[in-house]
Amino acid sequence: MLGLLVSVGLLVLVVLASIAVGAKNIPLAEVWHGLWHYSGTPDDVIVRDVRVPRTILGILVGAALGTAGAVMQGLTRNPLAEPGILGVNAGASAAVVSAISFFGVTSLTGYVWFAFLGAAVVSAVVYVLGGSRGATPVRLALAGTAATAALFGYVNAVQLLDSAALERLRFWTVGSLASADMAVVGKVWPFIVAGLVLALVLARPLNAMEMGEDSARSLGVHLTRTRVLSMVAVTLLCGAATAACGPIVFVGLMVPHLVRAVTGPDMRWILPYATVLAPVLLLGSDVVGRVVSRPSELQVGIVTALIGGPVFIHLVRRRRMGQL
């Protein structure tokens, strides 16, 4: 419990940093003024209309990805499961790219549904192809990577044939919080909150499933229902997060592992911790990305990939072959 409070404290710190630090250097007093006494100066506009929505979106998306990662790792009993690695985000991307290029959808409200569809189809396909039963981590990761490669090949082809779409998409496909505004936040929060609640409710059955399917069944867990609901939660979370800011990898991988080091294997603790700590990682990466290459920015998806890749390699190297 204390740990959770500390995590919330960390989150608050990162949120403050995210509002105070940016590509433009604004003194703290000005930031404070902009927050509480909005008077329309350029600095006020930056704080109110750029940094605050961006921070809120970062919290939402981070929570969504971290929780989705924790649910996937619990469901597949697989230490390498992650929405980015398993191709769920790529599915959402491919669907969004099709929506923008072929159906002329331009608003987030329009393409968030495509993102859900893409995420749902790909997560189901990868789960089945990776061997729903007795799936080894390698098999699942390979199925996901294969799907990702195929889908991004498609995304590239579309971008190539449609130069106007390329102009819009090359920023979106990186994974960035930079285009956040309150309208985007308003569109995605219901989906993400619904997904989070669903995931937290599933903590108990997922706990039981980690002990093996037979034990879970004998403890009264409805296996199919738990699987389907977990997939729904993952789809809601990843689809909404991807629609809002493009594919972001490795957040869902790293956070549950860090959390598990603190809490042990109990999903009832892992999920809330992941929900709180993943935004810390995402917003932290975003703040780092804003600072390192001033005056321009490094997109958050790039920062998380560069931090997450080594973590993934470390996990692969640490585990003995039997566990992998």
Partner 1 sequence: MDLHKADKSPAAKTDARKGARALRVGGVSVRYDVRAVVLTLLMGLVALAVAVLLVLVGGGDFPMSPGDVFQTLLGNGAMAQEFIVLDVRLPRVLTALLVGAALGLSGAVFQSVSRNPLGSPDMLGFSQGAMVGALLMIVVFRGNTWTIAAGALVGCLITGVLVYLLAWKRGVHGYRLVLVGIAASAMLTAVLQYLLTKANLADATEAMVWLTGSLDGRGWEQVWPMAAACVVLVPLILRHGRSLRMMEMGDDAAFALGVPVERVRVALIVLAVLLMGAATAAAGPIIFVSLSAPQVARRLTRAPGPNLVASALMGSALLIVADWAAQSAFGERQLPVGVVTGVVGGCYLLWLLVTERKAGRL
Binding site for partner 1 (CB under 8 A): 80, 84-85, 129, 131, 136, 138-139, 141-143, 145-146, 149-154, 156-157, 159-161, 163, 166-167, 170-171, 173-174, 249-250, 298-299, 301-302, 305-306, 308-310, 312-313, 316-317, 321, 324
Minimum distance of partner 1 from residue 76's CB (angstroms): 15
Minimum distance of partner 1 from residue 289's CB (angstroms): 10
Q: For residue 134, what is the DSSP state?
A: S
Kindly tell me which of 263 and 299 has the beta carbon lying closer to partner 1: 299
Minimum distance of partner 1 from residue 125's CB (angstroms): 8
Minimum distance of partner 1 from residue 132's CB (angstroms): 10
Residues 6+ apart with CB under 8 A from 42: none
Alpha-carbon dihedral 112, 113, 116, 119, rounded to 10 degrees:
-80
Kindly tell me which of 219 and 313 has the beta carbon lying closer to partner 1: 313
Kindly tell me which of 58 and 246 has the beta carbon lying closer to partner 1: 246
Q: Specify the residue for token string 């929506």.
A: 99
Kindly tell me which of 23 and 166 has the beta carbon lying closer to partner 1: 166
Which long-range contacts does 108-114 make (Cβ < 8 Å, 24+ apart)? Answer: 108/183, 108/184, 108/187, 108/188, 108/243, 108/244, 109/187, 111/243, 112/187, 112/188, 112/191, 112/239, 112/240, 112/243, 112/244, 114/243
Kindly tell me which of 200 and 315 has the beta carbon lying closer to partner 1: 315
Report which secondary-structure segment, H or E, holds 167: helix 163-172
Rounded alpha-carbon distances, angstroms, from residue 314 to 155, 302, 306: 30, 19, 13
Minimum distance of partner 1 from residue 198's CB (angstroms): 28
Minimum distance of partner 1 from residue 65's CB (angstroms): 14
Minimum distance of partner 1 from residue 299's CB (angstroms): 7
Kindly tell me which of 163 and 224 has the beta carbon lying closer to partner 1: 163
Rounded alpha-carbon distances, angstroms, from residue 62 to 33, 69, 125, 182, 221: 28, 11, 25, 17, 29
Kindly tell me which of 42 and 153 has the beta carbon lying closer to partner 1: 153
- Distance in angstroms (rounded) separating the CA atoms of residues 10 and 153: 39
Q: Specify the residue for token string 């990776």.
A: 130
